[in-house]
Amino acid sequence: MSGAHADPLYARNARIVRASVNAAHKRGESVACIGCGREVQPGQRFDVGHRIDASRGGSNDLDNLGPQHRRENRSAGGRLGARVVNTKRGTSRKARGLPTW
């Protein structure tokens, strides 16, 4: 988890997004994932994700946050974290002669 998630603004806005999604589900409305656009099903666990990642200049403002499928959000975060670490080390998969799939 990045430092952006420790920001009180993120915590406040994440609560607002969660409450909004739960209220929409109670009204029977569909809610789209900000990552893939597919529906976040009622009762399905989800994360509050960034439309533009904080590391790429995104903010913790309400208009940059939205519901995202948990697996999708966390795998994207893992890829982003690996890229940061590998760049600092200079040990990307490509640099080590490994497939970059």
Query: pTM of the entire structure?
Result: 0.69
DSSP secondary structure letters along 27-65? TT---B-TTT--B--TT--EEEEESS-GGGT--SSGGGE
Phi, psi of 49 (to 5 degrees): -105, 170
What does the mean pLDDT of the chain come to?
Answer: 82
Tens of pLDDT along 29-52? Answer: 999 999 899 999 999 999 998 888
C-alpha–C-alpha distance, residues 81 and 64, integer Å: 20
* Better-predicted residue by pLDDT, 99 or 46: 46
The full set of domain ranges for the chain reads 3-81
* Better-predicted residue by pLDDT, 22 or 74: 22
